[in-house]
Amino acid sequence: MLMDTLLIFVKEPIPGRVKTRLARTVGDEEAARIYRFLLEKTHQAAIKTSADRRWLFYADERIDKEDDQFPGSFEKYVQCPGDLGQRMADAFQRAFSAGSERVVIIGSDCPELTSEVLDEAFLALRKCDAVIGPTFDGGYYMLGTNRFIPELFQGIAWSTPEVLDQTLAIFNKLHLKFGVFSTLYDIDTEEDWRAYLGRC
């Protein structure tokens, strides 16, 4: 039986520590409120997937075991030290070492991500080596593989518009068979948030 694991990178919704680019124009409290909304959207997508395991990776040094943002079947972990690539690589490696055969990672910034997209990603990994879901700002909201591929997390200019292109270049360099999903918006700025509200 193939085991699917969904990895979710999150932060505690503490004012002043989340959505800092958004907070520059809306303030810390409002940015934290919006982030709590994004966490709820992420929870709705994650809890409805067919994944066998759902692992939350907190950026904080300690985990609030009573955190009510993600009720349901979620295991909680703390992200390892290092840049985003090192933290993602560690999470993927842990999942595959624990018996996973397909692993998908998401963040908590993409309110239009659905459980259907996540299930399609796991299904695609039966035939593909990797899948990716691009964002309009040049990054990605989802990455999945059917084995640990450390090269995907190395030499990437994280938090820049080059992330997607650099990752696709690694796919091609390694001759991976991969699938590209629909491009979605993530929420980083007030402009992003207002545009999302307009689409809703």
Pairing of strands 130-134, 102-106: unpaired
Rounded CA-CA distance 168/61 in Å is: 32
Average pLDDT of the chain, as a whole number: 94
**Long-range CB contact pairs, 32-36, < 8 A, 24+:** 34/187, 34/193, 35/11, 35/108, 36/69
Number of Cβ within a 10 Å radius of residue 90: 17
CA dist 6 → 9, 92, 126, 189 (Å): 10, 10, 15, 26
What are the pLDDT digits (tens) for 61-116?
666 655 667 877 899 999 999 999 999 999 999 999 999 999 999 999 999 999 99
List the CATH number of the domain containing 64: 3.90.550.10
Query: What is the enclosing helix (H) or strand (E) of 134?
Result: strand 130-134
Extract the tokens encoding 121: 């990603």
Range of the domain at 24: 4-199
Number of Cβ within a 10 Å radius of residue 111: 23
Q: What is the pTM of this model?
A: 0.95
Q: Which residue has the higher pLDDT, 73 or 13?
A: 13
Residues written for the chain: 200
How many domains are contained in the chain? 1
Residue 181 has pLDDT above 60, yes or no: yes
Rounded CA-CA distance 178/134 in Å is: 13
